[in-house]
């Protein structure tokens, strides 16, 4: 695992002081974290912020995306001051656009195979954004659980895994089982309050950071700035 100046990093920092402080300093290395939320709640932006922070600290990151092409991701991240172009050129960041919806029942198995391949190449962090399209085309709950079991196997090798998903695509028993398997659980919500769209992030669980469990805070995503933590009262105007 790469880390600057010979130091072994124990957490993945988002390199956003306010965000890190509310997540107990960052996500533990070798952990499995689920970023859960509805459409437009900020799941992709949060995962991008964490990826960017990890790259700043010398980690090697692989992204499996059903949301972006390489070009659109670079443009999107640069617009919020998270420029990853140099990391792409240096091979520190790899992105694999995946049309999971077109793979049907093979989507989960294909994703697992790709992730294990990346793991064999010495990647430090893997991000799946998002797993929702694979879930929609998988009728077997055991297949979904198997995916998260394989993620845990990668974590046992010291790899950190982040998975974004829409929880409403699964029944309560299934989502409960997945949450219990994860070391980290972040819940994003967005709601309309009058004329204002309010975005909040709940730190439902982070292994080893019990002091922040259950904390809820508001945030904005601003061009040229990225994620900015704000009081919920201000988020609601």
Q: Which residues contact 32 (CB under 8 A, 6 or more apart)?
A: 148, 151, 152, 155, 160, 161, 163, 181, 182, 183, 184
d(CA 121, CA 55): 17
Please, how many CA atoms are within 13 Å of residue 169, restricted to the half-sphere of its CB?
21
Q: Is 1 helix (H, G, I), strand (E, B) or coil?
A: coil
Report the C-alpha dihedral over residues 23, 25, 28, 34, rounded to 10 degrees.
20
pLDDT truncated to tens, each residue of the chain (237 aa)? 444 444 577 899 999 998 998 888 899 999 999 999 988 899 999 999 999 999 999 999 999 998 899 999 999 999 999 999 999 999 999 999 988 767 778 889 999 999 999 999 999 999 999 998 888 877 788 999 999 999 999 999 999 999 999 877 777 888 899 999 999 999 999 877 667 778 999 999 998 876 677 789 999 888 777 888 987 655 455
pTM: 0.91
Q: Are 81 and 16 in contact (CB under 8 A)?
A: no
Which stretches of the chain are DSSP H helices?
17-22, 43-56, 70-79, 85-90, 100-103, 107-120, 132-136, 141-156, 172-181, 232-235
Any idea what the Cα angle at residue 106 is, between residues 132 and 30, rounded to 5°? 60
Domain annotation for the chain: domains and CATH numbers:
31-186 (3.40.50.300)
pLDDT for the residue numbered 210: 60
């Amino acid at each position: 695992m790469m880390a600057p100046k010979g130091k072994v990093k124990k957490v993945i920092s988002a390199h956003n002081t306010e965000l890190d402080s509310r997540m107990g300093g960052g996500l533990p290395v070798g952990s499995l974290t689920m970023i859960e939320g509805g459409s437009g709640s900020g799941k992709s932006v949060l995962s991008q912020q964490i990826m960017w922070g990890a790259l700043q600290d010398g980690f090697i990151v692989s992204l499996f995306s059903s949301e972006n092409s390489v070009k659109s991701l670079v443009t999107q991240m640069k617009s919020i001051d998270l420029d990853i172009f140099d990391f792409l050129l240096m091979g520190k960041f790899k992105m694999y656009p995946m049309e999971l919806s077109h793979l049907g029942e093979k989507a989960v198995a294909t994703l697992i195979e790709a992730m294990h391949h990346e793991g064999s190449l010495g990647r430090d962090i893997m991000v799946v954004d998002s797993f929702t399209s694979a879930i929609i085309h998988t009728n077997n709950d055991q297949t979904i659980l198997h995916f998260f079991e394989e993620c845990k196997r990668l974590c046992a090798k010291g790899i950190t895994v982040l998975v974004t998903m829409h929880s409403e695509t699964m029944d309560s028993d299934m989502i409960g089982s997945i949450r219990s398997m994860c070391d980290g659980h972040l819940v994003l919500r967005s709601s309309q309050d009058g004329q204002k769209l309010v975005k909040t992030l709940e730190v439902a669980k982070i292994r080893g950071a019990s002091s922040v469990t259950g904390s809820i805070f508001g945030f904005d995503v601003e061009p040229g700035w990225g994620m900015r933590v704000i009081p919920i009262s201000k988020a609601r105007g």
